[in-house]
Amino acid sequence: MNWKAFGAMLARDAHVARRNIIQITFQTFLQPLLFVFIFGRVMVGSGYMPAVYKSILLPGIIAISMVFTGIWAVAMPLIAEFQWTREIEDRLLAPIDIAWIAIEKVVAGMIQAIVAGLVVLPLAWLVLGHGVDISIHAPMKFVAMILLVALFAASGGLALGCSMNQQHIGLMFSMVITPMIFFGCTYFPWSALQNFPILQKAVLINPLVYASEGLRAALVPQVPHLSTTAILLVLCFFNILLLVVGLRQFEKKAVS
């Protein structure tokens, strides 16, 4: 394993992210904060939503920000770099095994997802105003959830980015990402679906459900949520699956 090359590739990704910092900031934070403002502040303030909704919404918004950022950070550059120009070629020719180049992309995506989550948390808290009842009562649980969600986002980005062409990006968002967010228990807890028993079972195939519920378990344990053990196990399962698929697809794209 060539750590120098791995580190240099991380440095390259950090350099490019710094260069695009303004674009990345708006892309990552604008939509979740608008959502938080309208649903958490305006709708709760005007009495359309109960006050507890603020605390329920916040973990979901963190999950969306992290997952969206992680997928975007890995998938978009990969789609672009494997297309036409084959910009990624200079890294494929670096003295390191090809799988590590994919893993570097995943690590870079994880870091971006974690930063996004940790920035959205205080920002959203600020936008929501008083009445948010969250606490990091179990730091280890919080860290484990953040790491697993970040890895899910980044390995999902790897699998998607290496399985799609440029012309399918729009389709990826409307067919994969949007339904995932709406059925991902981000804007409501899973327990709220009890009046829709079929839907409640069906959404369990959506990994984002476990990300949102996991962050709820870590931040607002007083709200009913899925069992923490189940969440950890399922997130691990999806992470391994996506990583294996992503690495295989990456090698397929990288070598003729």
Partner 1 sequence: MAVGVRTENLRKVYNSAPPMAAAGGFIARSDAKDSKQPKQQIAALDGLSLEVRPGEIFGLLGPNGAGKSTTVGVLTTRVRATSGHAWVGDHEVWQEQAKVKRLIGVVPQRPNPDFSLTAREILIFHAAYFGIASKARNERADALLEKFKLTDRANQMVRGFSGGMMQRLSIARAMMHDPQVLFLDEPSAGLDPQTRILLWEIVREYNQLGKTILLTTHYMEEADSLCHRLAIVDNGRIIAVGTPGELKRSIPGGYLLRLQFGKPTAELLQRLQSLAGVREVRPLDTTGADVYADRGGSLIPEIAAVAVAAGAELRDVHISEPSLENLFLHHTGRSLRD
23 in contact with partner 1 (CB under 8 A): no
Orientation angle between helical segments 139-161 and 207-219, nearest 10 degrees: 160
Q: Write the binding mask 65 to 84 for partner 1: x where contact by CB under 8 A, - elsewhere.
A: ------------x-----xx
Q: What is the nearest approach in angstroms of partner 1 to the Cβ of residue 83?
A: 7
21 in contact with partner 1 (CB under 8 A): no
Identified binder of partner 1 from the candidate list 54, 91, 105, 216, rule CB under 8 A: 91
Q: Which two tokens stand for residue 38?
A: 């309208």
Amino acid occupying residue 102: A
Identified binder of partner 1 from the candidate list 21, 93, 140, 198, rule CB under 8 A: 93
Q: Output Rg (C-alpha) for the chain, integer angstroms.
A: 19
Helices vs. strands in the chain: H and E counts, helices first? 12, 0
Identified binder of partner 1 from the candidate list 22, 46, 47, 85, rule CB under 8 A: 85
d(CA 228, CA 240): 18
CA distance readout (Å), 110 to 9, 29, 105, 151, 154:
14, 17, 9, 6, 6
Q: Which residues inside 30-59 make contact with partner 1, applying CB under 8 A?
A: none
d(CA 8, CA 104): 10
Q: Write the binding mask 150 to 179 for partner 1: x where contact by CB under 8 A, - elsewhere.
A: ---------------x--------------
Q: Which residues inside 98-117 make contact with partner 1, applying CB under 8 A?
A: 98
Identified binder of partner 1 from the candidate list 62, 96, 115, 148, rule CB under 8 A: 96
User: Rounded to a whole number, what is the distance in angstroms from the first to the last CA of the chain?
Assistant: 23
Please answer whether residues 33 and 122 qualify as being in contact, where contact means their C-beta atoms are separated by less than 8 angstroms. Answer: no
Identified binder of partner 1 from the candidate list 8, 232, 236, 245, rule CB under 8 A: 8
Residues that bind partner 1 (CB under 8 A): 2, 4-5, 8-9, 11-12, 15-16, 19, 77, 83-87, 89-98, 165, 254-256
